[in-house]
């Protein structure tokens, strides 16, 4: 159990309880000082390698012997991102970089009191897997065999991560299954599709970030300038997910019609100008294409035929999305 404060750290007088702003707090009657107890920040990291998640086995209380994400307290004087990467390296030997913040969750610990868990998605940049001082073992676990986790916020964040990846993984499973059948007409097509999808998935975060920077200042999307970055991220992430599903043959015209017709109705109800919604949509297409060309991903790695195929598939997708979005606006 977390120990309670008994004496004033300034004068040594006994602590009493007193209400301030409707909250019962520790109070020193001699110093006339209130003591505030704020949630402690805890950082966790999700590192995914080929659908296996890096976990550590705890070597000390609380929950000694249980598995969890690489986690620990942020220290004074360091950024929350630096804290996440430091804990990752200390507990697993892996050096990484932050991809993005995934989840924030409140948690009450019998050991430490109120905690605030911040979970980041990270990518490995170096290091060698080895259990650190705070962990008995560090190991990658398949996403379908994750053991019970010590902390609820870890489970919640990991569930959210797996859910966000489910569509992408389904694409590759479908393609891989088709390839193994050795059907001659499908082999080339599936090989092409895999590589096209991989261009988008591999660079998804950079594409989204470039689009967010553009749509937040572009004069053709003024109404998007005040939209929160998390909301913008989710918009672009959803559409990129649809495009990869489309390329993999898992997102048909009926689903596309249903989604964008509904989106058109929603944006109309929110008083967004149709011109701005269509502009935001077209900017996503622009940044997929510009990023690929800037990285030479199409010219050098995919070849001319694949360049034309990606352009053709994207044209069909965005033409249909634009058509049905406009339909949604026209509905009474």
Tell whether 3 and 28 lie within a shared domain.
Answer: yes
Q: By C-alpha distance, which of 115, 112, 116 is closest to 104?
A: 116
Counting the structural domains of the chain, the total is: 3
170 lies in some domain: no
What band does 66 get if pLDDT is binned at 50, 70 and 90? very high
CA 99 to chain centre: 8
Tell whether 87 and 214 lie within a shared domain.
Answer: no
300 lies in some domain: yes
Q: Within 10 A of 42 (CB to CB), how many other CB atoms are there?
A: 24
**CA 144 to CA 253: how far, in whole Å?**
31
CB 101 within 8 A of CB 44: no
296 lies in some domain: yes
**CA 58 to CA 133: how far, in whole Å?**
10
Of 98-102, 150-154, 176-180, the least confident? 176-180
What percent of the chain clears pLDDT 90, i.e. is strictly above it?
A: 49
What mean pLDDT comes out for the span 280-299?
Answer: 75
115 lies in some domain: yes
pLDDT value of residue 170:
66
pLDDT value of residue 314:
82
* 231 φ, ψ (degrees, to nearest 5): -65, -45
pLDDT value of residue 188:
38
Tell whether 73 and 26 lie within a shared domain.
Answer: no
What band does 171 get if pLDDT is binned at 50, 70 and 90? low
β 135-142/52-58 pair status:
antiparallel
More confident residue, 295 or 53: 53
pLDDT of 315 > 90? The answer is: no
What band does 63 get if pLDDT is binned at 50, 70 and 90? confident
Tell whether 206 and 262 lie within a shared domain.
Answer: yes
CB 199 within 8 A of CB 240: no
Tell whether 222 and 324 lie within a shared domain.
Answer: yes
**CA 31 to CA 25: how far, in whole Å?**
14
Tell whether 26 and 52 lie within a shared domain.
Answer: no
CB 163 within 8 A of CB 103: no
Hey, which residues does 114 pair with through a beta bridge? 108
pLDDT value of residue 179:
42
CA distances from residue 7 to 4, 33, 278 in whole angstroms, order as listed? 9, 12, 63
pLDDT of 307 > 60? The answer is: yes
Residue 39 structure tokens? 């949630």
Alpha helical stretches, state H, the chain: 80-92, 152-180, 184-202, 204-215, 229-247, 253-269, 274-294, 303-330
Residue numbers of the domain that contains 153: 40-157
* 82 φ, ψ (degrees, to nearest 5): -65, -35
**CA 153 to CA 166: how far, in whole Å?**
20
Tell whether 193 and 92 lie within a shared domain.
Answer: no
Tell whether 19 and 58 lie within a shared domain.
Answer: no
Please provide the average confidence, as pLDDT, over all residues in the chain: 84
pLDDT of 48 > 70? The answer is: yes
Q: Is the peptide bond before 62 cis (omega within 30 degrees of 0)?
A: yes
Q: What is the CATH number of the domain that holds 187?
A: 1.10.490.70
pLDDT value of residue 172:
57
Q: What is the CATH number of the domain that holds 75?
A: 3.90.79.10
CB 1 within 8 A of CB 110: yes
Q: What is the CATH number of the domain that holds 20?
A: 2.20.70.10
More confident residue, 196 or 55: 55
102 lies in some domain: yes
What band does 219 get if pLDDT is binned at 50, 70 and 90? very high
CB 86 within 8 A of CB 115: no
Helix (H/G/I), strand (E/B), else coil: 155: helix
Tell whether 191 and 308 lie within a shared domain.
Answer: yes
pLDDT in tens, 230-277: 999 999 999 998 888 887 777 788 888 899 999 999 999 999 999 999
Tell whether 1 and 94 lie within a shared domain.
Answer: no
pLDDT in tens, 80-123: 999 999 999 999 999 999 989 999 999 988 878 889 999 999 99
Task: Tell me the whole-structure pTM to 2 decimals.
Answer: 0.57
Tell whether 186 and 322 lie within a shared domain.
Answer: yes
Which of 134-143, 165-174, 187-196 shows the highest mean pLDDT? 134-143
193 lies in some domain: yes
pLDDT value of residue 175:
47
176 lies in some domain: no
Q: By C-alpha distance, which of 199, 186, 187 is closest to 302?
A: 199
Tell whether 46 and 19 lie within a shared domain.
Answer: no
167 lies in some domain: no
pLDDT value of residue 183:
36
């Amino acid at each position: 159990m977390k120990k309670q404060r008994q004496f004033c750290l300034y004068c040594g007088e006994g602590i009493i309880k007193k209400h301030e702003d409707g909250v019962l707090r520790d109070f020193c009657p001699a110093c006339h000082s209130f003591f505030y107890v704020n949630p402690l920040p805890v950082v966790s990291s999700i590192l995914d390698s080929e659908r296996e998640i890096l976990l550590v086995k705890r070597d000390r209380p609380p929950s000694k012997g249980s598995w969890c994400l690489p986690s620990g307290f942020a220290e004074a004087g360091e950024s929350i991102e630096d804290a996440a990467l430091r804990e990752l390296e200390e507990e697993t030997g892996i050096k990484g970089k932050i991809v993005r913040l995934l989840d924030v969750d409140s948690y009450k610990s019998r050991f430490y009191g109120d905690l605030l868990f911040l979970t980041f998605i990270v990518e490995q940049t170096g290091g060698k897997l080895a259990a650190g001082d705070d962990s008995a073992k560090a190991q990658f676990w398949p996403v379908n065999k994750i053991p019970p986790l010590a902390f609820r916020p870890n489970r919640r964040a990991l569930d959210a991560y797996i859910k966000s990846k489910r569509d992408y993984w389904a694409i590759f499973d479908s393609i891989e299954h088709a390839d193994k059948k050795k059907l001659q007409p499908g082999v080339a097509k599936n090989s092409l599709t895999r590589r096209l999808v991989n261009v988008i998935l591999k660079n998804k975060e950079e594409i989204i970030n470039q689009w967010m920077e553009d749509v937040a200042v572009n004069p053709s999307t003024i109404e998007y300038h005040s939209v929160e970055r998390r909301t913008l991220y989710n918009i672009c992430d959803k559409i990129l997910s649809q495009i990869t599903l489309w390329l993999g043959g898992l997102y048909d015209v009926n689903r596309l019609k249903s989604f964008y017709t509904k989106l058109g109705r929603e944006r109309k109800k929110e008083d967004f100008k149709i011109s701005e919604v269509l502009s935001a949509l077209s900017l996503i297409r622009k940044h997929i294409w510009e990023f690929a060309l800037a990285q030479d991903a199409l010219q050098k790695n995919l070849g001319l035929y694949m360049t034309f195929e990606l352009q053709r598939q994207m044209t069909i997708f965005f033409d249909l999305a634009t058509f049905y979005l406009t339909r949604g606006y026209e509905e009474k």
